[in-house]
Amino acid sequence: MSKGITTDHFQGFMLGTIVNTIAVIAGGSLGIFLKKGMPERIRTIYFQAVGLFTLAIGISMVWKMDHILTVVTSVVVGAMLGEWMNLEKGAEQLSEWTKKKLRIGSERFSEGLTTSFLLFCIGALTIMGAIEEGTTGSARLLLTKSILDGFSSILLASAFGVGVVFSAIPLFLFQGGITLLARFFGEFLSAETIQALTSVGGILLLGLGINILEIKKLRILNMLPALVVVVLLMWIMKYLPVLNF
């Protein structure tokens, strides 16, 4: 007798990321359709709520932060690397190139793409969900995230337009990349490393919340290398305890 299909049957096929990508495309498309009927005051209060919620998530992710010096070093070094590579400018140029090639008339295309990508990809559910699917084959967390992202993309697209739909592409690459790395190199991701990675993600989310609330414009995209730096530092400290800080 068939035992039925479970998420374990899809191990290696990134079920969670695929569903998440489809949810963002579907929600964003619906948001574009509803855009004309969405009052400006509704979009304004939505982004205020999202900004505050993003700050709250960021705070919760750094609340029990360990290896403080490692996290701080990762953010600083990662930000300097990102600034040197000028990731934000590169992302804007790529967005503008895509917009021109596809003849997209949306004025907020780049802003919608980058804001949505950061909101969908820099969070505890993204990190923990991708690692869970990569190491165990379970898509439980990412399927939950897909529902949240689907609803968020509706309102995001109603404000930013088609850029939100296109954010599904970097979301798939980023989240799927973490899943694949976790599947093949999961033994290097100790509980302490995941906690440090979560703390760095929380700091970036705090910055994103500040951006969404328009308190100050922070170049969060240029800080993304911090997510790689913190994993490398935690791995180095594991094998060179003398550098543990």
Mean pLDDT of the chain: 83
Q: Residue 148 domain-assigned?
A: yes
Q: Are 115 and 160 in contact (CB under 8 A)?
A: yes
Q: Residue 5 domain-assigned?
A: no
Q: Residue 89 domain-assigned?
A: yes
Q: Which of 150, 213, 159 is nearest to 20 (CA)?
A: 150
Please say if the pLDDT value at position 118 is more than 90. Answer: no
Quote the CA–CA distance of 112 and 96 in Å, as a whole number: 12
Average pLDDT value for residue range 107-119: 83
Share of the chain above pLDDT 90, in %: 27
> pLDDT at position 241, please?
62
Average pLDDT value for residue range 149-165: 87
Q: What is the pTM for the complete model shown?
A: 0.78
Question: CA angle at residue 81 from 190 to 226, to 5 degrees?
Answer: 25
Which contiguous run of DSSP H or E holds residue 203?
A: helix 191-212
Quote the CA–CA distance of 154 and 70 in Å, as a whole number: 37
Question: CA angle at residue 211 from 209 to 214, to 5 degrees?
Answer: 110
Q: Residue 197 domain-assigned?
A: yes
* Structural domains of the chain, count: 1
Q: Are 194 and 143 in contact (CB under 8 A)?
A: no
Which residues contact residue 62 at a Cβ distance below 8 angstroms, ignoring those fewer than 6 apart?
Answer: 199, 202, 203, 206
Quote the CA–CA distance of 236 and 82 in Å, as a whole number: 21
> pLDDT at position 243, please?
55
Selected residue with higher pLDDT from 21 and 155: 21
> pLDDT at position 8, please?
47
Highest mean pLDDT among 1-10, 22-31, 156-165 belongs to: 22-31
Which ranges of 2-139 would DSSP assign to H, the alpha helix?
15-34, 40-62, 68-85, 87-101, 109-121, 124-136
Quote the CA–CA distance of 219 and 191 in Å, as a whole number: 29
- Is the CA virtual torsion 219, 88, 173, 158 positive or negative? positive
Average pLDDT value for residue range 127-146: 87
Which residues contact residue 186 at a Cβ distance below 8 angstroms, ignoring those fewer than 6 apart?
Answer: 131, 134, 135
Please say if the pLDDT value at position 12 is more than 60. Answer: no
> pLDDT at position 3, please?
43
Selected residue with higher pLDDT from 95 and 1: 95
3-state secondary structure (DSSP) of residue 234:
helix
Q: Residue 1 domain-assigned?
A: no
Q: Are 135 and 194 in contact (CB under 8 A)?
A: no
Q: Residue 209 domain-assigned?
A: yes
pLDDT band at 182 (very low <50, low <70, confident <90, very high): confident
Q: Residue 3 domain-assigned?
A: no
Quote the CA–CA distance of 208 and 220 in Å, as a whole number: 7
Quote the CA–CA distance of 111 and 163 in Å, as a whole number: 7
Distances (CA, A) of 133 to 15, 118, 175: 8, 20, 11
Q: Residue 170 domain-assigned?
A: yes
Place of tokens 């980023």: 174
Average pLDDT value for residue range 134-153: 88
Place of tokens 């939950």: 144
- Domain span at residue 27 reads 14-239
| Structure letter (DSSP) for residue 7 | G
Place of tokens 């960021």: 58
